[in-house]
């Protein structure tokens, strides 16, 4: 059975001291809520403080990206080995903001995913269609293509450490949410693409989250859908009560 993963993406929010205060606030609120994995992905400089605050709790801290090369002249980038050494277990790769503002492509997403997996990390691999693609009726083709390109050369064994976050780009940070039916249908289409690559067993075992303005009001309906195995949450992951309500919806 697939286990819910409720993950926050803090984006460029929370300094180390702010993250410490936030984790100290939310820790008792999510204590014992063990029907899901709880992860917050933090800016690089905030990771260590957040981890320290989360010690001994059911909260895990991840990163928001990782570079594909092991080391070298890549100013501003951080390697998988660096993250691994400070104990990072989860990393977001391919977020639409990275693709949109920082030139990431399916090729770089694929390379980063391979590097993270080789270092033994779990990847939250983001993909999803833009508004024009949904309106044109080609969502299935887009998510299927992204799934295949982003996972090219990644083994069935490694898929145990890949979580896919289906994030319709038009729903991220916009207050617009896919309907539960749209989320379920598209997560199901991603599962079909996984079945084409890896077969039914891997497809059925892979955790597929929904992301895109998930909040305390819509989480229960989205998470109730067969193909939705959790959430990747931006805005609502910055407010302890809202995020806890989403965790509650997964219980």
**Can residue 9 be called a binding residue for ligand PEP (CB under 6 A)?**
yes
Site residues (CB under 6 A) for ligand PEP, limited to 213-232: 213-214, 232
Q: Point out which residues pair with 230 in neighbouring strands.
A: 5
Helix, strand or coil, per DSSP, at residue 133: helix
CA of residue 192 relative to chain centroid, distance: 19
What does the per-residue mask of binding to ligand PEP show for 122-151, with x meaning CB under 6 A?
A: ------------------------------
d(CA 119, CA 173): 31
**Can residue 173 be called a binding residue for ligand PEP (CB under 6 A)?**
yes
Q: Which residue has the tokens 């249908």?
A: 185
Chain position whose Cβ is nearest to ligand PEP: 234
- 67 noted as active-site residue: no
Given the residues 67, 95, 97, 129, the one annotated as active site = 95
CA of residue 194 relative to chain centroid, distance: 17
Residue 149: left (phi > 0), alpha (psi -120 to 50), or beta?
alpha
- 167 noted as active-site residue: yes
The least CB distance from residue 56 to ligand PEP, in Å, is 27
Segment contacting ligand PEP by CB under 6 A, of 52-60, 62-70, 186-194, 233-241: 233-241
User: Residues in contact with ligand PEP, total (CB under 6 A)?
Assistant: 14
- Which of 164, 175, 190, 186 lies closest to 234, judged by CA? 175
Which residues of this chain interact with ligand PEP, rule CB under 6 A?
A: 9, 11, 167, 172-173, 211-214, 232-236
Catalytic residues: 95, 167
């Amino acid at each position: 059975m697939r286990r819910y993963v409720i993950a926050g993406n803090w984006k460029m929010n929370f300094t180390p001291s702010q993250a410490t205060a936030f984790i100290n606030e939310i820790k008792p609120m999510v204590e014992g809520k063990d029907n899901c994995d709880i992860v917050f992905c933090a800016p690089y400089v905030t990771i260590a403080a957040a981890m320290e605050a989360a010690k001994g709790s059911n909260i895990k801290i991840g990163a928001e990206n990782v570079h594909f090369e092991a080391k070298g002249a890549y100013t501003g980038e951080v390697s998988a080995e660096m993250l691994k050494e400070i104990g990072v277990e989860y990393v977001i790769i391919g977020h639409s903001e990275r693709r949109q503002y920082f030139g990431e492509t399916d090729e770089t997403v694929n390379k980063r995913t391979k590097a993270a997996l080789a270092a033994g990390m779990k990847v939250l691999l983001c993909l999803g269609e833009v508004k024009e693609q949904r309106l044109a009726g080609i969502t299935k083709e887009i998510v299927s293509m992204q799934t295949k390109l982003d996972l090219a050369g990644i083994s069935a064994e490694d898929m145990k450490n890949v979580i896919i976050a289906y994030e319709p780009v038009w729903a991220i940070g916009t207050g617009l949410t896919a309907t539960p039916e749209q989320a379920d249908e598209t997560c199901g289409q991603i599962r079909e693409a996984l079945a084409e690559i890896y077969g039914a067993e891997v497809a059925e075992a892979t955790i597929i989250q929904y992301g895109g303005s998930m909040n305390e009001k819509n989480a229960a309906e989205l998470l109730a859908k067969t193909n939705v195995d959790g959430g990747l949450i931006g805005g609502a992951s910055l407010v302890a009560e809202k995020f806890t309500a989403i965790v509650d919806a997964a219980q």
